[in-house]
Amino acid sequence: MGKPHLIAKLRIQAARVWRWFAPPVPRSILAPLHAAQLDNVRTQVQMLLTVAALNTCIVMAVCWNNGLPFSNYAWMSGLILYCFARLTVWRRLLQKAVPLEKVPAIIRANVGLSVGMMGFLGVTASITYVAGTFAYSTLIPVSLAFGATAIAHCLYTLRPAAVGVLVIGITPVAGSMIVAGDFNTKMLGISMLSVEFLMIRFVAAQYDRLIEGLFLEQQIRELADTDPLTSLPNRRAIMASIEAELESGENRKPRFGIALLDLDGFKQVNDSLGHHAGDLMLLGVGGRLADAAVEGDSVGRLGGDEFILLFRNVENKVELSSRATAILAALCHPIDLDGNRMPVAASLGYALYPDDGETIREVMHAADTALYAEKRAGKTQAKAVASSREQAA
């Protein structure tokens, strides 16, 4: 019993360490986080690769000046060539727009390459120091510590990469200096570990502030795009969705429907039962519309008692009429307003893009004309009415 219990505790502790090292990110901010990480990598990686190659050249120059055999530092030439090869590949990659679906793979690749390269350098520097290859034995460890610190500072948005670079780039060589060095070297190794610890805290704090900022931006966007009463998208958000749908077609125009829905007799509800009851009705209607919408469609509130629906992937007017009728059917049952069961009556007008207009303004006008034609007809039951072009046909 003791051993399984110990293993379970170790797994729990390992899971906690991993969650700190690479904390999970809520899906709601995953896309903006990836965008921030890609922008960070885009601006920093080229500079870091250039500096890494330059510093390696400096170390090679010191080795050559001290008369060391080229075989002792020949591997550094491979590192320089690697940096320039990665720089060339990266520049070619950035010459064209990066698809969103490829961003996570690019980020993972940079995390792996950063940690892998620094791990190789950390182990090599440790072996070199213990073997006493260089006359100035602390040159490479100190250069490596500077490099790891610079990489972690520049790539703080990639928390696993930044922390991993610090740990694997500084810890092995600092440990070898503490174990095998003289007093001054031991103190230098301890100093390097303290800098590593402080940089890890700094990177973690910077990353946490980034996440907090993305959450704040998300909340601001939600407040700006959400109707405060019904929690549906407001006019600004739904119009942005329609614009995006209009631009989604690559080789051919997309086909989508727009429906405007207006409650009949809403003013009488406010006058007889009060504005609180009117708010309850709007809240109930908004919920029913959202529940009745099929996956992929959007429901929004334009203001007052007027709602808007975006029907995506509509082939023709027959299909649009069927989907609009299904939406209205969800409003047929009375709604409870603090104990008062009130019937719901609504009028709806719809139009199809591009059949009823070449622009969003024209399609919206066609749907609005159909809606008010229905309102003027004085119907008492909810009924969907097509655009005026369809009526004329």
Domains along the sequence of the chain with CATH: 2-223 (no CATH), 235-392 (3.30.70.270)
Question: Which of 6 and 221 is assigned the larger pLDDT?
Answer: 221
Top-confidence residue, 380 or 102: 102
Q: Which candidate in 262, 264, 297, 305 is catalytic?
A: 305
* Sheet (strand 383-385) strand order: 298-303, 306-311, 256-263, 346-353, 383-385
pLDDT tier at 333 (50, 70, 90 boundaries)?
A: confident
- pLDDT above 70 covers what percent of the chain? 93
Q: Is residue 78 over pLDDT 50?
A: yes
Query: Would you tell me the crossing angle of helices 75-94 and 30-65 to the nearest 10 degrees?
Result: 150
305 is catalytic: yes
Residue 380 pLDDT > 60, yes or no?
no
Out of 58-62, 250-254, 352-356, 358-362, pick the least confident. Answer: 250-254
Contact 107, 38 (CB under 8 A): yes
For residue 393, the model assigns a pLDDT of: 42
Instruction: Give the whole-angstrom CA distance, residue 55 versus residue 51.
Output: 6
| 82-93: average pLDDT | 81
Which amino acid, one-letter code, is at 384? A
221 vs 125, 216, 246, CA distance in Å?
A: 49, 9, 22
Closest alpha carbon to 145 in 115, 125, 120, 116: 125
Listed in sequence order, the DSSP H helices in the chain are: 2-21, 30-65, 70-73, 75-94, 103-131, 139-154, 159-180, 183-225, 235-247, 266-273, 275-292, 317-329, 360-376, 388-392
Residues 254-312 have pLDDT tens digits of 889 999 999 988 888 888 888 888 899 999 999 999 998 888 899 999 989 999 999 99
390 pLDDT higher than 50 = no
Residue that the structure tokens 């125009």 belong to:
253
Confidence grade of residue 392 (pLDDT, cut at 50, 70, 90) = very low
pLDDT at position 20: 80
Q: Which DSSP string do the residues of 3-17 spell out, in sequence order? A: HHHHHHHHHHHHHHH
Query: What's the rounded Cα separation, in Å, for the pair 58 and 54?
Result: 6
Is the pLDDT at 27 greater than 90? The verdict is no
Q: What is the pLDDT of residues 36-57, one digit of tens each?
A: 888 888 888 888 888 888 888 8
- What's the confidence (pLDDT) of residue 135? 66
Question: What is the share, in percent, of the chain residues with pLDDT greater than 90?
Answer: 26
pLDDT of residue 250: 57
Q: What is the pLDDT of residue 381?
A: 43
User: How many other β-carbons are positioned within 10 Å of the β-carbon of residue 268?
Assistant: 11
List alpha helices for 66-181, DSSP H. Answer: 70-73, 75-94, 103-131, 139-154, 159-180
pLDDT at 386 over 70: no
SS3 for 154-173, per residue?
HCCCCHHHHHHHHHHHHHHH
pLDDT band at 197 (very low <50, low <70, confident <90, very high): very high
Other beta carbons less than 10 A from residue 9's beta carbon: 10
CA distance 88 to 106: 15
What would the mean pLDDT of 62-73 be, rounded to a whole number? 80
354 prior amide bond cis, ω within 30: yes
